[in-house]
């Protein structure tokens, strides 16, 4: 889709009062609208609970998506099972929308015996082969050429119905990986969608210190691919832009770069104090454009949500989340010998010897 404005403009559909611009309204059915809202509320409730767990010392690190729920949830509902996702920090929830079990997802944050990655990753680096989602790299940027490469492989193999989606923040557009990915995508035109969640802050560095370009979307012109700038707090505009971008890729029409303009309401992570580098007035201005609140006003105007339904949904999802947390916290640490797994298809004699030696020594007590 080419937006009504050029890529220095902004594609929008939802107005602040809950009404919608008919020229950009994707005209979603009631069931889809309610599914979107459910997933967004669940993500916010998960974030709230896990931040509390981090403060209680139950987990070591957490990065919330508060204020940025719209982009990952809308993206997830554009994908088909065969598609691949290469996320950054705030897109792990795509796995849940695609059917990854919540308990197993949460176990990665704890790094315990229920974690499919056996406790080997830093918290919040979720991945799952079952849903074709690759772990992100803490030194952001490498996921971009990886996604373009996966899309290029699909094109070479003739897997015409496979799309790769890559995510970056505004900060990682300053990395060489961004240039490499965009240039390769422009030249070879693989079925990839690159989404920049411009939340205005790369930890403490504002986007104004990342680029002299008027927007991030305009950078796509230099690489020869479409660049579209969309309101990242507008569920309906995101649906319109991302469904068109994924459709282009799936039809063999090449890559798209999408700048989703949003804002990180909370801290960068549980290790961050944002009051040291930004004003509360700025945060409050963006809080007024909260993607969940804007979408909720629209749903209420459509008669799809009321106070009773909102309370019942939150109660149901809270119980689901607490049940999963209790189940996860009942698991112990991964088996110590699992550190030797996954190196070879069959464990060779010298690793067997190391496993036996390890088991001869009791583990250190847990505190």
Structural domain that includes position 241 = 30-334
- Looking at the fold, whether 237 and 360 belong to one and the same domain comes out as no
For residue 140, what pLDDT is reported?
87
pLDDT (mean) for 4-22: 81
| SS3 call for 205 | strand
pLDDT (mean) for 284-305: 96
pLDDT for residue 80 is more than 90: yes
For residue 3, what pLDDT is reported?
42
The average confidence (pLDDT) of the chain is 94
- Looking at the fold, whether 272 and 357 belong to one and the same domain comes out as no
364 DSSP 8-state letter = P
Overall size of the chain counted in residues: 367
The reply to whether 344 belongs to the active site is no
CB of 220 closer than 8 Å to CB of 237: no
**Given the residues 44, 53, 189, 264, the one annotated as active site:** 264
**Given the residues 277, 285, 326, 336, the one annotated as active site:** 277
pLDDT (mean) for 68-84: 98
Q: What is the pLDDT of residues 225-275, one digit of tens each?
A: 999 999 999 999 999 999 999 999 999 999 999 999 999 999 999 999 999
Inside any domain, residue 59: yes
Helix ranges restricted to H, 124-234:
143-157, 176-188, 220-223
For 268, phi and psi rounded to 5 degrees? -55, -40
For residue 363, what pLDDT is reported?
81
Mention every residue, 6+ apart, whose C-beta is less than 8 A from residue 187.
224
- Looking at the fold, whether 353 and 311 belong to one and the same domain comes out as no
CA 39 – CA 224 distance, rounded (Å): 35
**Given the residues 44, 240, 248, 268, the one annotated as active site:** 268
- Looking at the fold, whether 149 and 269 belong to one and the same domain comes out as yes
- Looking at the fold, whether 209 and 349 belong to one and the same domain comes out as no
CA 33 – CA 235 distance, rounded (Å): 9
* Nearest residue to 194 via CA among 169, 174, 161, 160: 169
Beta bridge partners of 196: 168, 259
Determine the longest span between alpha carbons in the chain, in angstroms: 70
Q: What is the pLDDT of residues 146-184, one digit of tens each?
A: 999 999 999 999 998 999 999 999 999 999 999 999 999
Inside any domain, residue 277: yes
- Looking at the fold, whether 95 and 165 belong to one and the same domain comes out as yes
pLDDT for residue 10 is more than 50: yes
For residue 1, what pLDDT is reported?
42
- Looking at the fold, whether 290 and 265 belong to one and the same domain comes out as yes
Domain count, the chain: 2
- Looking at the fold, whether 46 and 119 belong to one and the same domain comes out as yes
Instruction: Give the domain CATH number at 316.
Output: 3.40.50.970
Query: Picking from 5-9, 158-162, 319-323, 356-360, which range would have the lowest pLDDT averaged per residue?
Result: 5-9
CB of 217 closer than 8 Å to CB of 241: no
- Looking at the fold, whether 47 and 164 belong to one and the same domain comes out as yes
pLDDT for residue 137 is more than 90: no
- Looking at the fold, whether 89 and 211 belong to one and the same domain comes out as yes
- Looking at the fold, whether 94 and 167 belong to one and the same domain comes out as yes
């Amino acid at each position: 889709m080419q937006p009504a404005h050029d890529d220095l403009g902004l594609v929008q559909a939802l107005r602040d009062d809950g009404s919608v611009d008919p020229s950009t309204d994707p005209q979603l059915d009631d069931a889809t609208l309610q599914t979107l809202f459910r997933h967004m509320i669940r993500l916010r409730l998960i974030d709230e609970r896990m931040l509390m767990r981090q403060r209680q010392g139950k987990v070591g690190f957490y990065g919330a998506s508060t204020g940025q729920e719209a982009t990952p949830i809308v993206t997830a509902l554009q994908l088909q099972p065969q598609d691949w996702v290469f996320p950054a920090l705030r897109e792990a929830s795509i796995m849940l929308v695609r059917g990854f079990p919540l308990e197993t997802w949460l176990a990665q944050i704890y790094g315990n015996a229920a974690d499919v990655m056996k406790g080997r990753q830093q918290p919040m680096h979720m991945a799952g082969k079952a849903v074709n989602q690759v772990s992100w790299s803490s030194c952001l940027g490498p996921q971009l050429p990886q996604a373009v490469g996966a899309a290029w492989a699909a094109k070479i193999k003739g897997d015409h119905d496979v799309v790769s989606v890559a995510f970056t923040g505004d900060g990682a557009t300053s990395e060489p990986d961004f240039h490499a990915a965009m240039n390769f995508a422009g030249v070879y035109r693989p079925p990839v969608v690159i989404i920049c969640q411009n939340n205005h802050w790369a930890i403490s560095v504002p986007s104004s210190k990342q680029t002299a370009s008027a927007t991030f979307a305009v950078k796509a012109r230099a690489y020869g691919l479409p660049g579209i700038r969309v309101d990242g707090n507008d569920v309906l505009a995101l649906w319109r832009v991302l469904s068109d971008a994924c459709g282009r890729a799936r039809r063999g029409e090449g890559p798209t770069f999408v700048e989703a303009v949003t804002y990180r309401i909370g801290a960068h992570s549980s290790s961050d104090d944002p009051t040291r580098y930004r004003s509360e007035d700025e945060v409050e201005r963006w809080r007024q454009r909260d993607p969940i609140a804007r979408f909720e006003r629209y749903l209420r105007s459509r008669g799809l949500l009321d106070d009773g339904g909102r309370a019942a949904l939150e109660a149901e999802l809270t119980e689901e989340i607490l049940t999963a947390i209790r189940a996860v916290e009942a698991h112990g640490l991964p088996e110590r010998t699992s550190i030797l797994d996954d190196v070879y298809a069959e464990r060779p004699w010298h690793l067997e010897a190391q496993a036996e030696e390890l088991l001869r020594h009791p583990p250190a007590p847990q505190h």
